[in-house]
């Protein structure tokens, strides 16, 4: 098996199974008939940019790099539903209103999400100033953030 085939098998395995360690990954490859050692798997994990995400079981497991983006944006979705009361915008910025004391955790969730339209946040006590990236229309970002507030609303 060449490197490309082995790395393809690794990507398939981490999409199909919850594998938490390089040893588990190496064992899964060997169970499929691939002759690998842990150091090769370690190099492949780095080359592929695999990340650790919370699996269905609750433990951290390997996933393709794009899974991290989905996971982070999912966390942002949850944070907005939990803490955001309202979202407003003007011609340059978006402001998210929260209960007193919840602006900082929400701003952190926005920052950690690496939302592609957000340049930065500044948190007060009950407001988060969200600065859009150059070229992003604040009304569009307002729409993206506020749609999370409306999901599940009666």
Burial of residue 1, with CB atoms counted within 10 A of its CB: 0-12 exposed, 13-18 middle, 19 or more buried? middle
Tokens of 104: 């900082």
pLDDT in tens, the chain (154 residues): 688 889 999 999 988 899 999 999 999 999 999 899 989 999 999 888 887 777 777 788 888 776 555 566 778 888 899 999 999 999 999 999 999 999 999 998 898 887 888 999 999 999 999 999 999 999 999 998 998 775 544 3
Burial of residue 134, with CB atoms counted within 10 A of its CB: 0-12 exposed, 13-18 middle, 19 or more buried? exposed
Tokens of 120: 């930065």
pLDDT at 25: 95
pLDDT at 154: 36
Q: Comparing C-alpha atoms, which of 109, 113, 116 is closest to residue 136?
A: 116
Q: Where are the beta strands (DSSP E) in 4-59?
A: 51-54
pLDDT at 70: 55
CB 59 within 8 A of CB 36: no
Q: Cα(78)–Cα(148) distance, rounded to whole angstroms? A: 8
- Going from the N-terminus, what domains does the chain have, and what CATH number goes with each? 3-63 (1.10.10.10), 68-150 (3.30.1360.40)
pTM over 0.85: no
């Amino acid at each position: 098996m060449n490197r490309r085939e082995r790395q393809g098998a690794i990507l398939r395995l981490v999409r199909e199974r919850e594998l938490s360690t390089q040893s588990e990954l190496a064992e899964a490859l060997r169970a499929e008939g691939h002759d690998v050692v842990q150091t090769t798997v370690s190099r492949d994990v780095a080359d592929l940019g695999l990340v650790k995400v919370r699996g269905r079981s609750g433990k951290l497991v390997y996933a393709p790099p794009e899974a991290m983006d989905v996971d982070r944006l999912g966390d942002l979705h949850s944070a907005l539903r939990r803490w955001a009361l309202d979202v407003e915008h003007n011609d340059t910025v978006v402001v998210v209103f929260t209960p007193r004391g919840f602006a900082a955790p929400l701003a952190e969730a926005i920052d950690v999400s690496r939302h592609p339209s957000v340049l930065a946040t500044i948190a007060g006590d009950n407001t988060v100033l969200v600065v859009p990236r150059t070229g992003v229309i604040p009304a569009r970002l307002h729409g993206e953030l506020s749609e999370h507030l409306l999901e599940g609303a009666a």
